[in-house]
Amino acid sequence: MTRWILAALFATSLGLHAQFLDPKTLLSPSTSEWPTYNGDYSGKRFSPLKQIDSSNVGMLGMAWAFQTGVPNGQGLKSTPLLVDGTLYFTGPDDVWAIDARTGRQRWHYHNPPNEGLHIGQRGVGMYKGWLYFETPDAHLLCLDAKDGKVIWNVELADVKLGYWATMAPLIIRDHVLVGVSGDFNDLHGFIDSLDPETGKLQWKWNSLPEPGTPGSETWPTNSDAIRHGGGMPWITGTYDPELNLVYWGTGNPNPVLDGTTRPGANLYTCTIVALNPDTGELVWHFQPSPHDVHDWDAVQTPVVVDGDFHGSQRRLLLQASRNGYYFVLDRTNGKALLSVPYAEINWSNGTDANGQPVAKIDKYPTHAGTLVEPDALGATNWMSPSFSPETGLLYVDTHRSFSLYYDYATDKPEGFAGRDLSIWSESSLKALDYKTGKTKWDHPLGRWEDWAGVLSTAGGIVFTGDTQGNMLALDAATGATLWHGYGGGAVQMAPITYELDGRQYVVIGSSGVLYGLSLPEAFLDHSGSAAK
């Protein structure tokens, strides 16, 4: 009897989860889905939808609002998934499933109290009928998408050592790819590939090479620095199905602001890596910040773009990096085609023969303080950029900032080993010509740091937010403001868009509230858009 019930339950769960999301869908999502963190594997966050366009976006209004009840300071940083008419989005200890047409809750999962750093949560991954959610204490939960029930729970890393987790898992076929966070302590980063059905480890790629293997020559050999050298891959990567390569950025080395005990380039920290998603094999790497001492993770979304590059059609990978450099890589081999600052910086005089920036030693943190542009939060950070194939522009939430960097390590540097004191900053949305990295337009977003991600559409619009909490729709070609609305809080997530029943929605968060925006029903009825 028991065996029969178990078999029935198993059959039920397997049978039901097929109706939600076939992993093959991720290769070419429809406009009525947003089935993975970046909408698709490329990281462009570009939608072909154009019901809302530059001529009518001024009429954008609220279709619904969903109140999470999360306190203001813990606002939504999550990119929702949209599958089969349901939006799935998160807070550090929460997963919500709401109806994408009505904004009404379907279910809510709340994680029991746990001791990891509750700094943010960027979303879930989905495979068939299951959702994958990383918790502040660095566990991966598998939830049933129909009711939010926990199916399994595995520990990714030891929270007691200082690990935590915030990122949205990336699903490729039957691999759930996850990274972890934690740079207050001297840990080591890794990407795990887990079996979606069981949570069993398929492979592990360590950010820090084993002593004696390639990459280890960039670490000292007379200490265990290489085992505690950081490199957290804490933002979801991108994927090229034809090359079968997943692209992922890694975080800063440890100890963070004092590099004296880790002379060398410190691979594979602050590095963009290309991995085989079936084996975890490292195929190539490119390091935006060799021997970083400013906390400038290179985790920013590496955007997959096929396009002309100075006369030839290339498979490109674009990254506007936290250190203020814009990189164009050949994504077949990791060779830099372009390395130029896109923001104002004072820490580097240029690049080496491989296109990797060379740091000025006199801009390292000191006991007495060093004035560095940008600050440790960087020229950009985790805010998702967007690339429009129609304008050829990469839209980047950019900070201009200055900090006094202090290294106050005493005998043996550990953990952060210092800190920067933010002096002044302001933000803007920069539209970069992808071939040159030059700023085509620069839309001011206000004093201090902006935290909004970006969405671009075929309607000729870029959606984002400013430092005062205004939700913005800008002209993708010129940066001119076409619409704005204040949602009562801070925009800290990246907007998404989808079309259901002939109506295009834009979803954007403001602190603890998620808004569904659309054109007015009266306008849609009149224009006949809804009937299409």
Partner 1 sequence: MVKVCGLFLVLTLGIYCLPAQDRSEGTTIGDTAGEASSGQAMFQQNCGFCHGRDGRGASGPDLIRSTLVNHDVSGDLIGPVVHNGRPNQGMPAFQLADAQVRQIAAFLHQQGKLASTVASRIPTEYPIEQLLVGNSDAGKAYFNGSGRCVQCHSVTGNLAHVASKYKPLELQSRIVFPDGAKSTATVTDRSGHQYTGEVLYSDEFFVTLFSDGKPRTWDRRTAKVAIQDPLAAHVGLLTQYTDKDIHDVFAYLESLK
Q: Please identify every residue annotated as catalytic.
A: 295
CB of 20 to partner 1, least distance (A): 30
Q: Where are the beta strands (DSSP E) in 79-212?
A: 81-83, 86-91, 94-99, 105-110, 125-127, 130-134, 139-144, 150-155, 170-172, 175-179, 190-194, 201-206
**For residues 299-338, which are near partner 1 according to CB under 8 A?**
none
**For residues 246-265, which are near partner 1 according to CB under 8 A?**
251-252, 256
CB of 232 to partner 1, least distance (A): 8
Cα–Cα dist 107/232, whole Å: 32
Indicate the helix (H) or strand (E) that contains 9: helix 2-17
Range in contact with partner 1 (rule: CB under 8 A) among 34-42, 200-208, 410-418, 517-525: 410-418
Range in contact with partner 1 (rule: CB under 8 A) among 168-176, 286-294, 430-438, 440-448: 440-448
Nearer to partner 1, 315 or 399 (CB): 399
Give yes or no for a contact between 94 and 80, defined as CB atoms under 8 angstroms apart.
no
Nearer to partner 1, 40 or 449 (CB): 449
Residue choice 30, 55, 213, 468 for contact with partner 1 (CB under 8 A): 468
Nearer to partner 1, 29 or 92 (CB): 92
Cα–Cα dist 60/290, whole Å: 45
CB of 494 to partner 1, least distance (A): 14
Nearer to partner 1, 250 or 504 (CB): 250
Cα–Cα dist 387/246, whole Å: 18
Residue choice 62, 201, 424, 502 for contact with partner 1 (CB under 8 A): 424
What tokens does 106 get? 């379907």
**For residues 497-516, which are near partner 1 according to CB under 8 A?**
none
Residue choice 53, 414, 433, 475 for contact with partner 1 (CB under 8 A): 414
CB of 237 to partner 1, least distance (A): 17
Residue choice 264, 415, 460, 479 for contact with partner 1 (CB under 8 A): 415
CB of 361 to partner 1, least distance (A): 12
Range in contact with partner 1 (rule: CB under 8 A) among 69-77, 325-333, 350-358, 428-436: 69-77
Q: Does 402 bind partner 1 (CB under 8 A)?
A: yes
Burial of 348 (0-12, 13-18, 19+ CB in 10 A): middle
Nearer to partner 1, 38 or 51 (CB): 38
Give yes or no for a contact between 118 and 93, defined as CB atoms under 8 angstroms apart.
yes
**For residues 151-190, which are near partner 1 according to CB under 8 A?**
158-162, 164, 166, 181-186
17 HSE (CA, 13 A, CB side): 22
Nearer to partner 1, 178 or 180 (CB): 180
β-bridge mates for residue 429, sequence order = 397, 443
Cα–Cα dist 122/136, whole Å: 11
Nearer to partner 1, 187 or 275 (CB): 187
With H, G, I as helix, E, B as strand and everything else as coil, classify residue 44. coil
Scan for tokens 């904004």, then name that residue.
103
Range in contact with partner 1 (rule: CB under 8 A) among 32-40, 72-80, 273-281, 351-359: 72-80
Give yes or no for a contact between 236 and 37, defined as CB atoms under 8 angstroms apart.
yes
**For residues 208-247, which are near partner 1 according to CB under 8 A?**
224, 228, 232, 234
Taking alpha carbons only, the member of 255, 202, 247, 205 closest to residue 225 is: 255
**For residues 352-391, which are near partner 1 according to CB under 8 A?**
362, 366-371, 373, 377, 381-382
Nearer to partner 1, 30 or 468 (CB): 468
Give yes or no for a contact between 328 and 309, defined as CB atoms under 8 angstroms apart.
yes
CB of 480 to partner 1, least distance (A): 11
Q: How many residues bind partner 1 (CB under 8 A)?
A: 76
With H, G, I as helix, E, B as strand and everything else as coil, classify residue 225. helix
How far from chain centre, in Å, is Cα 43?
Answer: 9
Cα–Cα dist 208/267, whole Å: 7
Cα–Cα dist 35/80, whole Å: 9
